[in-house]
């Protein structure tokens, strides 16, 4: 008959549990309960022997006195380990079994560059310098030839409508004699108010696309108002409201520079008429640093179109970050709350950012959203909100 190799004892008697046995060994049970345990162990000799062995081991360990190690034991162990590491020994290896790492002499490199040395470096440096001079000469020759052909023309000049749309320079070209009633009307209103944007407006985002963009961190809410201070105060009070439309929405006014750089509007290339260009305030605007004014665009009046790019004054107000549950209903409720607080004179525009501006909030409720009730199973999203002044 084969021998049983299972080391586990038989199951406990039905009247005993592990907790009761632990209390019995520790001496925490009253005498009546201890008598009941001894009676139950009498029917199981195997468990009775195990409990007796545990009690004897506990008494033996309790009789031992506390032994303190030598004061310098830790320092000696650390010194031995450090010495073994310095000589390259591991796991208590004998010192004679391995050479010390201090006697290893690194060999000298014998690669191609090491053999050639200065004979190769000097020709390469000379070739790089010649290539740099040649490329620079071709570039400046092309720029001067284009500038010369532009000044010699007398008719309309075609401009690239794709790649040069956002670059500084001439926005459009037109003969001086062919100016129509539209330019005459702009000359009548010459001044900073006569500026008009040359780029089309950023396309708005539909409500169906807003949730997907918000979860990716690429949704931007742009609030355009005549009075930015009034709109900012209304936005700050949204988090203090109570009710279903704004439940779960928090407003953060301290925004990182990364978010500000991502949501800042790009300066739009603007145009200015020939007569308005001669006004002192417009000349100062064109010469101000950061306007992107091209010195090559300084051509005599009448040769090319009189339209030159300038920059509008800054219209960006404060920036907030709204945190809310990542559901379509919460996004719509937030939009309704903004509309009701800001009024009809304020436009709320949803736009798509080219890159994520904010990351989802990293708190316990956001990371472990599935551990809550089923009614709250939705991760939170963070949406930047920018307040701008109406132009």
If asked whether residues 29 and 58 sit together in one domain, one would say yes
More confident residue, 372 or 241: 372
The pLDDT value given to residue 158? 41
Q: Are strands 270-271 and 316-325 parallel, antiparallel or unpaired?
A: unpaired
pLDDT at 293: 47
What is the pLDDT confidence band of residue 4, given thresholds at 50, 70 and 90? very low
**What separation in angstroms does the CA of 14 have from each of 9, 26, 37, 42, 284?**
14, 21, 11, 13, 97
300 belongs to a structural domain = yes
Verify that 326 and 381 share a domain, yes or no: yes
- In this structure, are 253 and 296 located in the same domain? no
Q: For the chain, give the mean pLDDT.
A: 67
Structure tokens at 153: 């023309």
Per-residue pLDDT tens over the stretch 114-123: 666 667 778 8
Eight-class DSSP state of 223: E
* Residue 147 placed within a domain: no
Alpha-carbon span 74 to 92, nearest angstrom: 17
> Which comes out higher in pLDDT, residue 72 or 326?
72
The top-scoring range by mean pLDDT among 108-112, 174-178, 374-378 is 374-378
Helices (H), the chain: 18-26, 31-42, 45-62, 73-87, 112-116, 118-152, 181-188, 207-216, 228-236, 257-263, 274-277, 280-287, 328-342, 364-367
Among positive and negative, which fits the CA dihedral 48, 49, 54, 59?
positive
211 and 256: one domain?
yes
Q: Is the pLDDT of residue 130 over 90?
A: yes
State the pLDDT at residue 116.
Answer: 62
**Is 301 in the same domain as 382?**
no
306: containing domain = 269-311
Winning range, highest mean pLDDT, from 17-26, 182-191, 309-318 = 17-26
Final residue belonging to a domain, choices 62, 78, 97: 62
Q: Report the share of the chain in percent with pLDDT over 90.
A: 5
For residue 1, pLDDT beyond 50: no
Could you read off the pLDDT of 269-328 as tens digits, one per residue? 455 555 655 566 555 555 555 444 444 444 444 433 444 444 444 577 788 887 877 778
Read off the pLDDT of each residue in 96-103 and give the average, rounded to a whole number: 52
Q: Is residue 96 part of a domain?
A: no
Distance between CA atoms of residues 186 and 277, nearest Å:
12
Same domain? For 250 and 295 the reply is no
What's the number of domains the chain is made of? Answer: 3
Residue 278 shares a structural domain with residue 366: no
Which one, of 313, 311, 324, 314, lies nearest residue 221 by Cα? 324
**What is the model's pLDDT at position 328?**
82
**Is 163 among the domain residues?**
no
> Quick one: 286 and 378 in the same domain?
no
- What tens digit of pLDDT does each residue of 227-274 get? 778 787 878 777 665 444 445 567 766 666 767 676 665 554 455 555
* Judgement on whether residues 321 and 376 belong to the same structural domain of the protein: yes
Give the residue among 307, 33, 310, 49 at the shortest CA–CA distance from 182: 307
Mean pLDDT of 55-77: 87
Q: Is 249 found in the same domain as 329?
A: yes
67 has pLDDT over 50: yes
Residue 240 lies in a domain: yes
| pLDDT computed for residue 30 by the predictor | 92
Contact (Cβ atoms closer than 8 angstroms) between residue 87 and residue 101: yes
Q: Judge whether 302 lies within some domain.
A: yes
**Domain annotation covers residue 141:** no
Query: Could you tell me which residues come within 8 angstroms of residue 307 by beta carbon, excluding any fewer than 6 positions away?
Result: 170, 171, 172, 174, 271, 272, 273
pTM: 0.36
Do 273 and 375 sit in the same domain of this protein?
A: no
pLDDT of residue 334: 80
pLDDT score of 178 = 40
Residue 64 vs residue 206, higher pLDDT? 64
Same domain, 225 and 215: yes
Q: Is residue 112 a part of any domain in this protein?
A: no
Residue 52: pLDDT band (50, 70, 90) is: very high
Average pLDDT estimate for 191-201: 39
Q: Which residues pair with 385 in a beta bridge?
A: 221, 320
Q: Residue 231 is encoded by which pair of tokens?
A: 């709109």
| pLDDT over threshold 50, residue 190 | no
């Amino acid at each position: 008959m084969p021998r049983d190799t299972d080391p586990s004892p038989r199951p406990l008697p039905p009247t005993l549990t592990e907790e009761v046995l632990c209390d019995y060994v520790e001496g925490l049970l009253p005498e009546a309960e201890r008598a009941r345990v001894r009676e139950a162990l009498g029917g199981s000799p195997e468990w009775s022997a195990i409990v007796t062995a545990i009690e004897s081991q506990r008494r033996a360990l309790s009789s031992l006195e506390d032994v303190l190690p030598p004061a310098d034991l830790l320092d000696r162990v650390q010194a031995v380990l450090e010495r073994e590491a310095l000589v390259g020994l591991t796991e208590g290896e004998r010192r004679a079994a391995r050479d010390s790492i201090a006697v290893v002499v690194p060999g000298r490199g014998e690669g191609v560059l090491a053999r050639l040395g200065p004979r190769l470096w000097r020709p390469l440096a000379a070739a790089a310098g010649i290539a740099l001079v040649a490329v620079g000469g071709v570039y400046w020759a092309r720029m001067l030839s284009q500038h010369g052909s532009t000044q010699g023309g007398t008719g309309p000049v075609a401009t690239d409508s794709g790649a040069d749309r956002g670059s500084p320079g001439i926005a459009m070209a037109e003969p001086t004699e062919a100016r129509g009633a539209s330019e005459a009307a702009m000359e009548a209103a010459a001044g900073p108010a006569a500026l008009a944007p040359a780029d089309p407006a950023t396309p708005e985002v539909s409500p169906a696309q807003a949730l997907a963009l918000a979860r990716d961190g690429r949704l931007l809410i742009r609030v355009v108002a005549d009075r930015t201070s009034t709109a900012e105060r209304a936005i700050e009070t949204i988090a203090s409201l109570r009710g279903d439309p704004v439940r779960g929405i928090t407003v953060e006014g301290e925004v990182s520079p990364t978010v500000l750089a991502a949501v800042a509007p790009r300066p739009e290339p603007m145009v200015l008429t020939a007569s308005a260009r001669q006004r002192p305030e417009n000349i100062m605007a064109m010469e101000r640093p950061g306007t992107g004014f091209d010195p090559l665009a300084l051509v005599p009046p009448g040769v090319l179109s009189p339209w030159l790019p300038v920059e509008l004054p800054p219209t960006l107000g404060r920036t907030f970050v709204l945190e809310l549950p990542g559901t379509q209903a919460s996004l719509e409720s937030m939009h309704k709350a903004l509309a009701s607080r800001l009024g009809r004179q304020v436009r709320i525009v949803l736009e798509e950012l080219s890159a994520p501006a904010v990351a989802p909030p990293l708190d316990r409720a956001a990371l472990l959203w599935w551990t809550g009730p089923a009614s709250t199973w939705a991760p939170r999203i963070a949406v930047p909100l920018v307040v701008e002044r109406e132009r």
